[in-house]
Amino acid sequence: MAIEAVYRRPNTSKPAPGHKIYPYLLRGLKIERPDHAWAMDITYSPMRRGFVYLAAVVDVLSRRVLPIASRSQGRRRFCVEAVQEALAKHGRPEIFNTDQGSQLTSLEFTDVLLDAKIAISMDGKGALRDNVFVERLWRTVKYEEVYLRAYNSVSETRASIATYLAFYNQGSYAGKWVMTD
């Protein structure tokens, strides 16, 4: 019998009424070069007291994590900052895929992509496989890093996960997953 703490988990995928939902553009699309498509998702990391939100931008072909952002609150703004950092440091993808969470369907977020002339793609509602690129990343990060620690602060969480992702990007995981239909 396992003992597990009971606490309200944050819902990071709830769409907001009135936000535009874009079609899913990656179905059947063959991704053959870096920067053809990027994907982004949000998760959270538990700490001793509370949790911290994490957002990652991933190149779909290489599975390389571009930037990662973290905040204890204010999810919408840090998502915008993460995508702006990715664009500034890594150029521009043709397609940017997300789920339908309110922070990723907001005008503030989608305008950044539209202004950069990037096609927006959104997963089908409840279609976890559509954004498997980032979902798999978060699973790996949580089981190999987050759940093995008990972070005391946002800065400690940020530093520990940044160290892990540097290891991840050096080839231990990135680029070794193959999508099959």
DSSP 69-112: EEESS-HHHHHHHHHHHHHHHH---SEEEE---HHHHSHHHHHH
Query: Which of helix, strand or coil describes residue 17?
Result: coil
Average pLDDT estimate for 100-127: 90
Mean pLDDT of the region 54-78: 85
The residue-averaged pLDDT of 20-26 equals 92
Residue 174 confidence (pLDDT): 52
Between residues 130 and 36, the one the model is more confident about: 36
Bigger pLDDT: 178 vs 41? 41
Cβ pair 134, 58 in contact under 8 A: yes
Mean pLDDT score, 47-71: 88
What pLDDT does residue 177 have? 42
Q: Spelled out in words, what is the top-level CATH class assigned to the domain 37-170?
A: alpha beta
| 110 against 44, higher pLDDT | 110
| Better-scored residue on pLDDT, 138 or 2 | 138
Q: What is the pTM of this model?
A: 0.82
Cα–Cα distance for residue pair 181/28, rounded to 1 Å: 9
